[in-house]
Structure 1
């Protein structure tokens, strides 16, 4: 996982389904992140009196996604990362990788729970081994973990290739552990969870990164390509998509690597 010179990254195809949900096709592996497929219009509770309305539905239905080998679930306890229709897909995946507490709650076959820094290795006939390493997340301000719960991101490495093929940050604010891991990893494709989540009950406290955080993280990680996701479609996002795009476009380093995906359309990165 340490930084080293890039040596022929694998071909990566990403389809943004909506919200945090992306289909990653990586050297024969079909990987789905944080499955959310419910239609728009419903209000979901997030605990401690907080809630949010889903404003945009997915660009693809579950049956349009097709079979998946792995579901990477940053956390199972918030509906904007795992909703009812998304939950119905979990038993169909060969492997689900999530937090340790989430794995206990889900109690599904071959569900692997990780804490930040832990790694699991996946194998399948005809595919190179896939190494999944959990990366640190703090889904809110300091001391918020008892309220926000456990969350992890995921760094994917393929076979014996050096570096990280895909890093999905998960829902997190920018903090010291995230900065440290960004400096250490050699990242090809970075999937950024943004949106600057806020709730009326907690005022200006933020529970995910905004555009300024993204600029800083991109400068540290130096990916070849960065894909913003999970920044629109819910009422608890406090940064508008227009403001986010403007912030990233105003920074030359960010502008040169950011790729905005059209939902439902596969993009080879």
Structure 2
């Protein structure tokens, strides 16, 4: 999706209709627009992005109620605050309520580590103590919002335990599979989602933890020391980042920029 198109469909309040993006949903949501902005490396100085972030902040403070269907199996109010805080934090918006919510999630994770391991049974207990008993199940501690929000916040022992837990579980909403297991087919959209997940978990890793990913990427370079994915199709969110993929060199450039960005933090 081009920025010009997103600007043309952006609501007056700054949103894009429903907020949360489900995996099977093809319609444009506020979250998809935010994801596109972030992947294009746009920041709050861009007027379209700024307008959207102001909308998200109003949602956080309940000045605006999002039109999404409220899920009953989880504490939807807690989930909403987590989503909004995650996106504001990702775009480096400083806010007291975001900081407060971040601290709650930090506490829930730190208090769930026993003997240097993340204990899910203890997490369920801590989750209820911190966020209340509303909802039939707890929010997954390995989902995109929690992982993103807690980047560079956990103490070393907890960060280590959390890293191992997330690597085994995957990052829900991005790549919900074991991250120690590499995608079977390199030339696929699965690889892109896998690398996005690796990009988010990398700040929690120690040196050499993700060497196996670097080796895998190196082994999939062409004879020209580049990466090519002939079967990959543009999805409008991650790709294209160039004008379009009608020219093959645009596609190759976009893919290599994306992979190099991940490779550089491993």
Q: Which has the higher strand share?
A: 1
Which structure would you say has the larger Rg?
A: 2
- TM-score of the two chains, using structure 1 as the length reference: 0.28
Q: Which has the higher helix share?
A: 2
- TM-score of the two chains, using structure 2 as the length reference: 0.28
